[in-house]
Structure 1
Amino acid sequence: MALNAQQAHQQAKPGDAVIGWKLDREQRKELLLQFPTRYSEVVADHVTLAARVDRNSGLPSETLGEIVGQADDGRGVQALVVSIAGTTDRPDGSTYHITWSLAKGRRAKESNDVIRDHGWQPIELPVPVMLQPARF
């Protein structure tokens, strides 16, 4: 049975895995040209739906999103905001995003804090992004 993101999130049991979406490797190369990284550690890997879930949790069925904005704290965390199924709101209350780049000593999970505390700026034209449901 295919689960949408909301259903996959609701049905996930606690554990040590993450469910969400990996970026298409070929499109990732194009996106890195379109959205230059600002910090030395390039991440640009995935969109998280839910963290700390059971490894057998169902995956979301969505396979297309749109990059709709950017966030940067100016101190080492750069993220791209993603809309999935028409919303940027993750079921846990945070925002769908791709951690794009980090400065040394910064961590990907800080993207949630940067978006929450500093907000994000919309980009002029949303960019479609192919998403591959994944467990990692």
Structure 2
Amino acid sequence: MTDPTHLYAGWLLDPDQRETLLARFAPRYAMAVAHHVTLKFGDRGDAAPGEVAAEIVGAADDGQGVQALVVAIAGSTVRPDGGTFHITWSLAEGREARESNDVIARGWDRLGEPVPIDLIPKPAD
């Protein structure tokens, strides 16, 4: 799999918090991703995003290999492009992180209580 980290502007999941979150939200599929939240994909420009208040507010799973956690940034789950802020959580073999967008668009379940998370602005390349 090609490392797509240079193709987006967004935030990285704090590595110190990642293991705790993986224990709390068990990956359902073989490949745990749990890496970042995208602000903008593709032509990212020169600016890195700023610090934000973020929390996990929901989850989506198609039952066929894509698990994602829905994230609210500054209180909103809606990205500027109309998509949904999320973290691709786990994938089965042959599935791709970009498929999380379609799974979430078909619906997601709200958590009972939001879970605050630490996100680190991804530096511009």
On whether the aligned pair clears a TM of 0.5, the verdict is yes
Q: Is structure 2 residue 30 aligned with structure 1 residue 33?
A: no
Can you list the C-alpha shifts for 1:9-60, whole angstroms capped at 9, x where unaligned?
xxxxxxx731000000010010001100000011000000001124x52122
Give the secondary structure class of the aligned counterpart of 1:44. coil
2:53 to 64, 71, 79: 64
Distance 1:101 1:129 in 2: 18
Instruction: Count residues in correspondence.
Output: 119
Contact 1:62 1:84 in 2 (8 A): no
Give the secondary structure class of the aligned counterpart of 2:29. coil
Amino acid at match of 1:129: I
Amino acid at match of 2:112: E
Give the secondary structure class of the aligned counterpart of 2:21. helix
Which residue of 2 is the match for residue 45 of structure 1?
35
1:124 to 104, 112, 119: 112
Give the secondary structure class of the aligned counterpart of 1:28. helix
Amino acid at match of 2:121: P
Alignment root-mean-square deviation, CA: 1.3
Percent identity, please.
55
Q: Following TM superposition, where does structure 1 have runs of at least 4 consecutive aligned residues deviating by more than 2 angstroms? A: none
Distance 1:126 1:84 in 2: 12
Distance 2:114 2:25 in 1: 12
Q: Name the one with the larger strand percent.
A: 1
Give the secondary structure class of the aligned counterpart of 2:42. strand
Which residue of 2 is the match for residue 6 of structure 1?
none
Task: Provide the TM-score with structure 1 as the length reference.
Answer: 0.83
2:13 to 23, 26, 34: 23
Larger-Rg structure: 1
Structure 1: 5+ residue stretches without partners:
1-15
Task: Provide the TM-score with structure 2 as the length reference.
Answer: 0.90
